[in-house]
Amino acid sequence: MAELKYFADHGFQNITLGIPFGTHMLADLAEYSHKIEHLNLLVDMKEHIDLLDTTNGKYGILIKIDTGYHRAGLDYANTQAIIDLAWYAEKSRSASFLGIYSHAGHSYNQSSVEDVKRVAREERDRMVAVRRALESNGIAVHVVSCGSTPACTISDDWEGVTEIHAGNYCCFDRNQVQIGSCPSTDNNAGRLLTRILSFYPDRNTILTDGGGIPLSKDKSDMSNWGTIRGHPELYVQKISQEHAILTSDSPIDYSKYHIGEVLMVYPNHSCMTAAQHPVFYVLDGDMVVDKWVPCKFWCGLYYNLDDYDLPSPELLFDLQYFINNPDKYYSFYLNNLHQSFQPTFTHAFIRLLQDKGLLLRDYTQNIDSLERVVGIRDDLLVQTHGSIESCCCVACNEKYSMKYVELCLAKGVIPHCKCGGLVKPGIVFFGEKLPLKFTWYSKRDLGSCDLLLVLGTSLSVEPMASLVEYVRSSTPRVLINRERVGPFRFCGMSSCYRDVCYIGDCDEGVRELCSLLGWEGEVEAILRSTAPADFPRELPIFAETGSSTAINHCHSAPVLYEATDAPNESSNE
């Protein structure tokens, strides 16, 4: 449902939910059926239609047909049941019958291209036969939807089918290579970075941190859990929750490897592996060119907090709750310690503005401190939501390093100050004031800058959202973002004389701007020097803190000159 909402909220007007729905989804389905032009749902029981009729929604109906996968749907041979359900849908007050839908998931279990072609032919022929049976009973069929990645990739004969749908094709994986629908692992877009932890020559194995949580335990129809890029002799022999064991059919040459080395794993099933992660890095060759954060579903932070027994998810970042229950936050921290983050093209662009003497200040909601990694000076950086790089005592404000916190946690104890107070991370929790630096600089900076750049933000979190209103009426404002937000929603109207919008990916927009300025090479040089793609930075992941997205590209960078007379940081910053 979260995926459906994401697409609908970003302008898609014709959406099919590819699984039968449950009662817990009805309210959202009804709401979104009025937000988009066509919301199509799968049914395989009359009860599904009865449920829809209890809502005030309007839906298109596709009957789910089982052509051999045996996961969901009415059996293709049970034509009378299919006809009866179609007639029942025709009588619905909220739904309109559109057609039939199948997914030949058993194509993944085939061992040859010819076997996949056979499954594809069977799916097509069985769906066309169902269509003819419906039409011979006076029921119009507008949609015949088939597909799976192996079938759609290998077969090109879909006569009688109106649409094909496939999901894994956008990434591919080792399973697709084995089947024959993908030529080689070089075409596998979904890959996992893992680190070497130890060596065991007597067992001819290598221990890494890429276990079942980051890789998934989906072995598919294969003899191991993955292979290693650049090391074809190695494969993932065994996995546990946190760790993986690599081995080789020949003796491993341990002189080729070192502790801490980063290896790239080709997973068997990229769908399962991708679903484990809250952020994805996009590579061009070996250079990180973008960072993608998925919409909130399986890997969204608030969807993964059931194990922490919280009254409500947002309390994980509530100051008073932390003081009373520090074990909750630090348990979460330990479970998310080994996530990797790297600066992006946008980070490097801001560094170039600094190097050219154009950056007045960089206001960021990021807590990952990648601005510092890329070289933004402390006096030019305002981290409005704090940083995970340092910690402090909640009682006396004594500063502590993350290393101290991690040493305490490694011993199984909650970190405390020498005064006895709790040590908390340097991020801004709910119930805390923003850093003094923000109050000191913001109005003065915004009131004096010559240009305001707003890069990759929803402009929905105060007080950051209001910064765009502090600039002078004659100051140009530039938004580079996936959608129009805040006052930029009116960009293009005659009254909006000073705003410019680039609607699209943040890094792509910044790259296009740099290309026009002739700066692209300089930015790439900064990126190469600060973020080698084969050695990502270890940081904990904080995907979302209530209404505030804490890890994203979120900068509002006034551009003019270097400020002087920095504030005297008080103990209550």
Residue range 470-504, pLDDT digits in tens:
899 899 999 998 888 888 876 666 667 888 999 88
* Phi-psi domain of 77 (left: phi exceeds 0; alpha: psi -120 through 50; beta: other): alpha
Confidence of residue 445 (pLDDT cuts 50, 70, 90): very high
pLDDT band at 411 (very low <50, low <70, confident <90, very high): confident
Burial environment of residue 27 by CB neighbours within 10 A (0 to 12, 13 to 18, 19 or more): exposed
Confidence of residue 546 (pLDDT cuts 50, 70, 90): very low
Average pLDDT over residues 96-102: 97
Predicted TM-score (pTM) of the model is 0.56
pLDDT at 540 over 60: no
Name the band, by pLDDT with cuts 50, 70 and 90, for residue 70. very high
Q: Provide the domain limits for residue 258.
A: 185-274
For the chain, give me the number of helices (H) and strands (E)?
17, 26
Does residue 180 belong to any structural domain of this protein? Answer: no
Q: Is 396 annotated as a binding residue?
A: yes
Tokens found for residue 208 = 């890494």
Q: Are residues 32 and 120 in the same domain?
A: yes
Q: Is 419 annotated as a binding residue?
A: yes
Domain final position from 232, 255, 274: 274
Per-residue model confidence as pLDDT tens digits over 200-234 = 999 999 999 988 888 888 887 788 999 999 999 99
Pick the more confident residue, 282 or 127: 127
Residue 117 shares a structural domain with residue 191? no
pLDDT at 440: 87
| % of the chain at pLDDT higher than 90 | 47
Rg, Å, the chain Cα set? 27
% the chain with pLDDT above 70: 87
- Calpha distance 468→466 (Å, rounded): 5
Tell me: do 80 and 229 sit in the same domain. no
Q: Is the pLDDT of residue 376 over 50?
A: yes
Same domain, 216 and 349: no
Tell me: pLDDT of 421 over 60.
Answer: yes
Residue 554 among known ligand-binding residues:
no
Measured CA to CA, the distance from residue 535 to residue 342 in angstroms comes to 9
**Weakest mean pLDDT among 172-176, 344-348, 364-368, 532-536:** 532-536
Give the domain-ending residue among 166, 198, 225: 166
Q: What is the pLDDT of residues 239-290, one digit of tens each?
A: 998 899 999 999 999 999 999 898 999 999 888 888 777 778 788 777 777 7
Residues annotated as catalytic are 385
Q: Is the pLDDT of residue 341 over 80?
A: no
What CATH number does the domain containing 30 carry?
Answer: 3.20.20.10
From residue 138, give the alpha-carbon distance in Å to each of 58, 97, 131, 244, 517. 23, 13, 11, 58, 63
Q: How many domains does the chain have?
A: 3
